[in-house]
Structure 1
Amino acid sequence: MNINKDNFDWENPEIIGINKLDAHNTLIPFEDFSSSLKNREKSSYYHSLNGIWKFNWVRKPADRPINFFKDDFDDNSWDDIEVPSNWQLNGYGIPIYTNIKYPYSINTTFIPKIDHDYNPIGSYRRTFDLPENWEGRKIFIHFDGVKSAFYLWINGHKIGYSQGSMTPAEFDITDYVKLKDNNISVEVYRWSDGSYLEDQDMWRFSGIFRDVYLFSTPKVHIRDFFVRCELDKEYKNANLNIKVKVKNYRDAELQNFKLKFLLIRDISDLNNPIKSLENKFQIGKSSEITLSMNCNVDNPKLWSAEIPNLYYTLFALFNSNNEIMEVECNVFGFRSVEINQKGELIINGKSVILKGVNRHEHDPDHGRVFSYSLTEDDIKLIKQNNINAIRTSHYPNHPDFYKLCDEYGLYVIDECNLESHGLRDKLPDNDPIWKNACCERMKRMVERDKNHPCVIIWSLGNEAGFGDIFKKMKDLTLEIDTSRPIHYEGDYYNEITDIISFMYFPPRKVKNIARRNPRKNENRPIMLCEYAHAMGNSLGNLQEYMDLFEKYNNIIGGFIWDFVDQGLRKKDNEGREYWAYGGDFGDEPNDKNFCINGIVMPDRKPNPSLFEVKKVYQSIKITEKDIQKNRFEIHNKYNFKTLDFVDIKWELTANGKIIRDGTLNIEPIEPNQTKEIQLNFDKIDIIPETEYYLKIISEVNSTHPWVKKGYVIAWDQFKLPISTEKKVLEKVENSNILDIKEDDKSHIFKGENFTVKFGKDSGLLEDIEYYNKKIITTPLKPNFWRVPIDNDIGFVDEDLEDFEEDKSKIDYTWKQVIEKRELTQLEIENINKYTKKIKVHFNIPYSKDGLNIIYKVFGNGKIIVNTQFTPLKELIRFGMQTELIGDYNNVTWYGRGPHETMEDRKTGASIGIYSFKIKDLIHNYVRPQENGNRSDIRWVSFTNNEDVGIRITDAGGEYLNISAWPYTMENLEKADHIHELKYQKNITVNIDHRQKGVGGDLPGLPSTHKKYQLSPNKLYKYKFSIEFM
């Protein structure tokens, strides 16, 4: 790689900033102690430049307005744009979604060459006035995030340049501003050499997308501080190590200045602080010094994600007249992070499991623009679903994100804005040209976020290869902070990482590593920085991972990929709204819907996988002790939280209906403790043909900032071992005489108020009528196909040779199998005058003995369907499908619910009776696919508004899978977006024995575990009944 002096700044990796100030922690000066406790916007020394700016956009640098920064430049013809924003979502250019491939403008052959014919430039202008009390002070401008590179002018003066889009850029503009009518001009480049280091799996946006503000300081200023906590061996008392950088901007040496430090819990402590320290100092002209202070704090309340106790640290600078020059404030949490010799992650002395999720900053309407309210809602939702950790994949987030995690309580892996996935074998590698850029990105993140207790691990980046540069990044980090472990998954040989990290390792491999490492004297913890790929209808076998996390202490947890579907709200030409993904804006290259991996949808409505996460991640677990005697154990798996914040309730159901309930009166259970409980309820009068379930519920007993009173945070359910007589479904009481007729096309079975027809040529049950009204509109047809879910299609093929898991894409031959059937038998047997049997056999491709179906039709209208089949290759689905008249759109079932479940994703659904309208039974995945299934169904009814309809009941003892859609399977498969689904009046009903699991171990591939597959050369059979209601 050759760089010469003629390269533009934005094509030179060695230029990462011009006149850009050194990094520091997030801070704003205040004028006194009490006001410093307020939000930064309340400071008289803070001035936001967010709002409307004038804006011009061009496709290439040569077309940009060269002299737009001049004071007399006329921008009246320019558009208005909101800052912060991504300009692509305001009609300028298009967003691009790609996972690994770089956008075409970033040359992957001649590095770091950027396309000069398509590198859009956004030119921004606005004016501002300064507050009068800023006169005579230092004035700085702060950009929280600009992508990907920019130049800055103030009042026609060129101030500087910056790249590195996810951390702040600050400039000293004191000498270039006046009190009134200041002009600011910013020239933003969509792509720069920095873009080579920002190849994350996300939408590629640009613009001034985070806050811009001015702040003012005295000419002697607290420029940075770092408060570190060290707990004693008992994790009871603390030592504070405080370092403060004071900058003197004056051209004079100063004497008798004083720095004062206060530690308080709230404003009431200001007059009587927990700790108060002073440090008198002198400082040379135009220089910076580092002041150190130290103190012990007895028995502080510790911070954790479970109990986020916070304090305030205040720093006041006094001049030689003992006058306050400025006060700066920061929230602070007492906590420690360690890795012990057993490979455990130890927080405040406790071994912690990270029940995590990866999270992109994503707003479906505003792209990567930060919304405080949306982020706060995200954090509440995350905590409500028992997630305790976030990985900031794959860049530092907005500063307020960390503030919210401090306050609400979440552990954070803070990740450097460094990913070169599409070129990770080439850069940064060991190339010294990239060293400063990579180290600068890491330093700016660490310096900014070092005081946040929520940050427990630093990450050097993601999918950027490995080389000496990463060693330098680690060394640089340790120069600033030695109190946190350092993570990097790309360190495949574990040369520098403190945590052995993997992506998408199946449980089998994780277990083997956890067992092997102690034998190899490897005491570093194991972590899955990405696992459980949640793309579309996915996230199978999550419980198996959690079982490993809890069994092996050296597995410290994992981070699901990922939190939110990165869909963008869009409308088609008819005004119909939908979620857009890669390619929907004409963007090339693109990776289609590979950005749709969330456990929540773009608008934060839950995907069904969220309910599985909540159940698997719960920290209150009930297990059987002696279920015969109603004895159970409650396990409090929280590390710090006593179970005094929940009420433990229970309910006993008989065939889904509650017959007993109550609340347990027990002493609160301490963290990591177990208590045995005895449930006492009145004797049950055992009813034949009835199953009894006991559900024990942990319900939040008071409102907290993140959750309301009454919220169910955990539950477990048990089938009681009560033996009851099984129902004989083929024994029919009070049956009527059943007549048989036939015509040219059908065998017709007619009872007192119903008619059932079987096609002579089709061999199928073609029609059901009740009181002369049709019930079905299409034959009840065997079905071996499902609408492909994302994992069936397959998206990723790289780096998977070492994985033994199922990587086969869906077998499309099953789609047409039933249409290729050959009817070889249709035999009617007259059992008696009330009951007739119809035996049907089809020759079916890829089957051992064909497909056998036996129907029994009874005089009271009941139909029993008994089907069996032996496939010669792996099966996707074994079931039957028909269409019901649309009036029967009220669905009630007894089985797992209320949400969608699949073969390998049903832990989070309890057995009960649930009711929905058809429109609420489906789930609108961003890319339409198989959806709406409910598992372990005992019975399901479809009725009209007069409660007339049919009831389908499991008759084989293995339970059914049921789904129903207001559209056809063909339409569901053709649609690429939800708005393309054509709703019809009739209802498609799937009555299934089994369906292949969804998988999720590997990204965008089946990876379905063997026990959730429908294996070849195995006999599958099931039986169900249809009755009128």
Structure 2
Amino acid sequence: MKIWENYQLDHINRLEPRAHFLTFPTKEKAALNENKYTHAFKNLNGIWKFLLLDAPEYSPSNFYAPDFNTEEMFDIKVPGNWQVQGYGKMHYSDLWYNFPINPPYVPTENPTGIYKRQFTVDESFKDKKVILRFCGVDSAFHVWVNGQEVGYSKGARNEAEFDITDLVQEDAANDLTVRVYQWSDGTYLEDQDMWWLSGIFRDVELLGVPYAGINDFTVVADLDDEYKNGLLDLSFKLREPKGKYVKVELTDPSGEQVVSQDVANGQNSLHLEIPDVARWTAETPKLYQLLISVYEAEKLIEVIPQKVGFRNIRLAGEVFLVNGVAIKLKGVNRHDYNPRNGRVVSKAEIEKDIILMKQFNINAVRTSHYPASYYLYDLCDEYGMYVIDETDLECHGFELTGKYDWISNDPEWETAYVSRMIRMIERDKNHPSILFWSLGNESAFGCNFVKMTEIAKEMDASRLVHYEGDFEVEAADVYSTMYTWLEHPTKKPLMETVIAESKKPHILCEYGHAMGNGPGNLKEYQDLFYAHDKLQGGFIWEWFDHGIESYTEEGEKYYRYGGDFGDDPSNKDFCIDGLLMPDRTPSPSLYEYKKVIEPILTTAIDLHKGEIKLLSRYDFQNLQIFDLYYSIVEDETIIEDGTLPLPSIPARESAKLKLPCHLDFAPKPGASYFLNLSYQLRNTTSCAPKGYELASANYELPLNTAGIKVDPRGKLQVKESETNVTILGSNFSVTFDTVRGTLKQLIRDGQTIIERGPKFTMWRAPISNDMEIIDEMKKEHFLHLEHEIVNSFEWKDRDQSVQIVVKTINSTTNSAWHYKCTYTYTICGSGDILFNLEGSPSGKIDTAPNMLPRLGVSMHVNKDLDQVKYLGRGPRENYADSKEAGYLGVYSSTVENMFTNYVVPQANGNRMDTRWAAFTDDRGQGLFASTTGSFNFSTSYYEECDLDAAKHTCDLTERAYVVVNIDYKQNALGSYSCGQWQLEKYRTTFEEFKLSFRLSAFNMKEANAISLSHEKIELPH
């Protein structure tokens, strides 16, 4: 059997797994806690020599020898994945193995990378044990030093250490050779939803540690039953215990020493009770500094620093508790990922991730689906983030074989499963941020998971066990599900069953598939979490789009995804599913999530009196950390504002508040008034500056502001030709095509404003969350192939206005269902156009689709009119099931900035509850659209068909006009790419509708958009 197919061989000569820690010669250097100041350290990252072979058997003779000629080898960066550096094939899949399923066997053509480099060691390594550490190698590898085989390891996202003390030469160059196998028996356990990327992708380090030092230690920092006193259990393993003693010192978060104690000779553990400890939570990440010093007689051998957080995790009936509280997890699933470097991520990148998560109210991370880079856990401890630490284990491809538990329920594979669990726990055990050990992901269930749970409980009784695949909750401590539906047309939704029947705490380890424009329904899920103690939150899938940074021949940046590299089979753009775009730009959905999980719920009691109620959504933190900034806005002008400190409001409690503002003023006719509340940090924190907003609220003030009546009369002329009708006013003209029934052109002061008037449409470019219904929309109902048949075109001259009525039939290719539509245009002498469109479902109604993308109209506007101002929800796009972060107000933007540039082009940019929108050029000439109710609107330089046809952003070419969409209704987003489809209440259906609005060409020299919005047009009777 080939060694890389021997599933019962876990390693050769790999050291026993242990905690990841640093050891220092003095306390002063330990305080700096950097690799540079340890006893001896050498980073082996950098440029290595590299050779990629089709199979291990093609390895050159004696390739591991120090004198092997490397001139024919290439340069490669370590850490790095060889595919993103131009070697081998890029391949993305969510599900499939890229070879026949016949465990433990892998393809004969097994891409193999040979890495070589030389290193030297300085005097700091003298008289030290020398350890070679690999932090991550995909998938399995052999190591040689100076021509001697050191060992073999697998388990791609786990650390592997080797003792090379006897092989290292102190006064000469040392040769290091690593042979990495893309496929191994371990690959059957590494079928995660991500790019298949190979090589040495995490740090390679050389450690020099004292022979007489600590090899490993375990810290358990718990709380007593009253959650008041700390219970510190410390155990350690000395390499040479004889004649050594250990001193333990503990300093509290304020810097005061609370423990200084020697461990008696011969003992390897210590138990202490510390009164009145500061407790660690994600909201209050209080950390103590532990120093473990090893002495021989009076000689200091080493000092090990370790941050310690006191917290208690336990099950209590149907909930799990952290420090006695049934917390709510407001989480994300996170991969280690970089759009240029693949799975290579730096500490700085991870720190940016954590800080950004905190700024967006996220309090939990699931390390999907493997242990993350070790940096992550230190940062989660420091900044405050709950962690589900997940074993590097997924066997998803077996699901399609009809025997999903093929190896999960095979005792012969027990070692392979259990080893991965043990290695994760040993590395990460000393981090207070970790609440759960997760057994893996999407690998069915069986005896090997039962054994993993047993081992986890034996190793660490202070934490809980998670595994979503344990559907009957036989081994796991929590009932975990993913993409669990809120409503279903034919069966009882699982969420209802969970609430009614589950006797264990529940979390959604994945939900809200953040693919492209979406997800929707986040508020509905969060409301359920808050309503039921046993529903303890969930984790959005996922944090980051996995696009590959690429450039066109012209140098334009774009991002490729699955299938763009000839990879087959591929799940295509299913990897573009994050709250962050590949360039780290937060998507609109991240702002929606921030709002839905914000720490303060504001309820208006009496806005006339400025009375509000605040409910803390924190589990531990007092709301005293916030100042409340309030403002009263008249249209777009702040007319009053102020700041007041929030009083003491403990976690999960509420209080009433009276704002010191004046609401007894006389409102301006036609104006809109808003009360905006912003909860801002009173002081700078480690994650955000003073004044940073973490919660907010927005209310329209109930003031009677009837508009200014405007008489739209004026003299009009009508000119007819064979196919056109033109209405002429004093400074404008409106032309209609009598054949197509469309408004053909609106000219004001000689400048074309509208290049094509409102045309009914039911179509929007599919969004990523439509992926499961695109075939139904396009191939069954042909919704993208619209037809408008004009039945009649009539006009009549009324008193100083002209009315045009167009009756049409609107449907799609091969459809027996249709809309009967009536367009009515009233062209006023003032130049205002009053537009009304009414549609009635007709034809064979029972054959119509049960959901339509939109009901609205589309117009073409002069491209110079690129400045946008509107009163509606903003500032970012919003939809029926994703509008919590969209606040009513007046916003200014541009056509370009109204467009959300998703990696995969799709419908975007909608603004709900819009009352008016204005488009102007740099000279103030423009178009104003308003309604007495509200409409949805969006604008861009692209037609829906452009967005539909483009695979990447670089495929888009701007039109010679601005597209303006005004909708009666636009369909919701849902999460149906993976999860709940559009909820019934948010759907756009085949229904009667009426869409009315005013169109006015205007010049800002005469009146601006705000003034126009105050007008109330009254037509003469």
Which residue of structure 2 lines up, in the alignment, with residue 653 of structure 1?
633
Q: 1:572 to 1:490 in 2, by over 3 A?
A: same
1:144 matched to 2:135? The reply is yes
Question: What is the Cα deviation at residue 631 of structure 1?
Answer: 1.3
Q: Distance in 2 between matches of 1:419 and 1:863?
A: 61
Q: Distance in 1 between matches of 2:255 and 2:225?
A: 31
Structure 2 counterparts to residues 516-555 of structure 1, below 5 A: 522-555=502-535
Q: 1:790 to 1:809 in 2, by over 3 A?
A: farther
Q: Give 5+ residue unaligned stretches, structure 2.
A: 1003-1021
Selected match of 2:388 from 401, 413, 425 = 413
Which residue of structure 2 lines up, in the alignment, with residue 183 of structure 1?
175
Which residue of structure 1 lines up, in the alignment, with residue 34 of structure 2?
39
1:279 matched to 2:263? The reply is yes
Selected match of 2:801 from 835, 840, 856 = 835
1:593 matched to 2:573? The reply is yes
1:735 matched to 2:735? The reply is no
Selected match of 2:987 from 1013, 1023, 1028 = 1013
Which residue of structure 2 lines up, in the alignment, with residue 133 of structure 1?
124
Cα pair 1:793 1:1005 within 8 Å, conserved = no
1:968 matched to 2:943? The reply is yes
1:325-383: CA deviations, max 9, x gaps? 12212111111112212x22311122210001111111011110021111111111111
Which residue of structure 2 lines up, in the alignment, with residue 912 of structure 1?
889
1:166 matched to 2:157? The reply is yes
Q: Percent same amino acid at aligned positions?
A: 37
Selected match of 1:262 from 231, 245, 249 = 249
SS of 1:644's equivalent in the other structure is helix
One-letter identity of the residue aligned with 1:813: H
Q: CA RMSD in A?
A: 2.1
Q: Distance in 2 between matches of 1:666 and 1:263?
A: 35
Q: Distance in 2 between matches of 1:162 and 1:795?
A: 45
- 216-225 or 599-608, which moves further after superposition? 216-225
Structure 2 counterparts to residues 538-577 of structure 1, below 5 A: 538-577=518-557
Which residue of structure 2 lines up, in the alignment, with residue 864 of structure 1?
834
Q: Distance in 1 between matches of 2:410 and 2:644?
A: 64
SS of 1:82's equivalent in the other structure is strand
- 889-898 or 238-247, which moves further after superposition? 238-247
TM-score by structure 2 length?
0.93
Q: 1:173 to 1:954 in 2, by over 3 A?
A: same
Q: Distance in 1 between matches of 2:980 and 2:994?
A: 24
Q: Distance in 2 between matches of 1:657 and 1:30?
A: 60
Selected match of 1:95 from 82, 90, 98 = 90
1:736-785: CA deviations, max 9, x gaps? 11111111111111111111111111011111111122112234321110
Question: What is the Cα deviation at residue 548 of structure 1?
Answer: 0.5
Q: Distance in 2 between matches of 1:688 and 1:737?
A: 28
Q: Distance in 2 between matches of 1:665 and 1:215?
A: 51
Which residue of structure 2 lines up, in the alignment, with residue 689 of structure 1?
670
Cα pair 1:928 1:975 within 8 Å, conserved = yes
Q: Distance in 2 between matches of 1:674 and 1:698?
A: 15
Q: Distance in 1 between matches of 2:148 and 2:169?
A: 13
Which residue of structure 1 lines up, in the alignment, with residue 1011 of structure 2?
none
Question: What is the Cα deviation at residue 184 of structure 1?
Answer: 0.7
- 632-641 or 588-597, which moves further after superposition? 632-641
Cα pair 1:345 1:353 within 8 Å, conserved = no
SS of 1:984's equivalent in the other structure is coil
Selected match of 2:238 from 243, 246, 249 = 246
Q: Distance in 2 between matches of 1:417 and 1:426?
A: 17
Selected match of 1:23 from 17, 23, 33 = 17
Which residue of structure 2 lines up, in the alignment, with residue 679 of structure 1?
659
1:896 matched to 2:873? The reply is yes
Cα pair 2:860 2:963 within 8 Å, conserved = yes
Which residue of structure 2 lines up, in the alignment, with residue 324 of structure 1?
300
Q: 1:514 to 1:505 in 2, by over 3 A?
A: closer
Q: Distance in 2 between matches of 1:631 and 1:507?
A: 34
Structure 2 counterparts to residues 928-1007 of structure 1, below 5 A: 928-955=905-932, 957=933, 959-1000=934-975, 1002-1004=976-978, 1007=981
Cα pair 1:788 1:810 within 8 Å, conserved = no
Cα pair 1:28 1:46 within 8 Å, conserved = no
Q: Distance in 1 between matches of 2:274 and 2:492?
A: 42
Q: Distance in 2 between matches of 1:277 and 1:537?
A: 57
SS of 2:719's equivalent in the other structure is strand
Which residue of structure 1 lines up, in the alignment, with residue 793 of structure 2?
826
Selected match of 2:743 from 750, 765, 770 = 765
Selected match of 1:235 from 218, 224, 227 = 227
Q: Distance in 2 between matches of 1:613 and 1:224?
A: 40
Cα pair 1:784 1:817 within 8 Å, conserved = no
One-letter identity of the residue aligned with 1:445: M
- 307-316 or 62-71, which moves further after superposition? 62-71
Cα pair 1:943 1:950 within 8 Å, conserved = yes
SS of 1:124's equivalent in the other structure is strand
One-letter identity of the residue aligned with 2:694: I
Structure 2 counterparts to residues 288-437 of structure 1, below 5 A: 291-319=268-296, 321-341=297-317, 343-424=318-399, 425-437=404-416
Q: Distance in 2 between matches of 1:95 and 1:79?
A: 19
Q: Distance in 1 between matches of 2:408 and 2:201?
A: 30
Cα pair 2:120 2:173 within 8 Å, conserved = yes
- 761-770 or 127-136, which moves further after superposition? 127-136
Structure 2 counterparts to residues 64-83 of structure 1, below 5 A: 64-83=59-78
One-letter identity of the residue aligned with 2:670: E
Selected match of 1:782 from 745, 760, 765 = 760
Q: Distance in 1 between matches of 2:435 and 2:485?
A: 26
How many pairs does the alignment contain? 982
Cα pair 1:847 1:869 within 8 Å, conserved = no
Which residue of structure 1 lines up, in the alignment, with residue 145 of structure 2?
154
Which residue of structure 1 lines up, in the alignment, with residue 563 of structure 2?
583
Q: Distance in 2 between matches of 1:511 and 1:712?
A: 40
Q: Distance in 1 between matches of 2:778 and 2:359?
A: 35
TM-score by structure 1 length?
0.93
Q: Distance in 1 between matches of 2:784 and 2:114?
A: 57
1:230-251: CA deviations, max 9, x gaps? 2122211111111112223xxx
Q: Distance in 1 between matches of 2:208 and 2:953?
A: 50
Q: Distance in 1 between matches of 2:356 and 2:415?
A: 38
1:923 matched to 2:923? The reply is no
Which residue of structure 1 lines up, in the alignment, with residue 449 of structure 2?
470
Q: 1:849 to 1:381 in 2, by over 3 A?
A: closer
SS of 1:781's equivalent in the other structure is strand
1:25-47: CA deviations, max 9, x gaps? 11222112221222233213222
One-letter identity of the residue aligned with 1:976: K
Q: Distance in 2 between matches of 1:640 and 1:380?
A: 19
Cα pair 2:484 2:494 within 8 Å, conserved = no
SS of 2:958's equivalent in the other structure is coil
Q: Give 5+ residue unaligned stretches, structure 1.
A: 1-6, 249-253, 283-289, 797-806
Question: What is the Cα deviation at residue 514 of structure 1?
Answer: 6.7
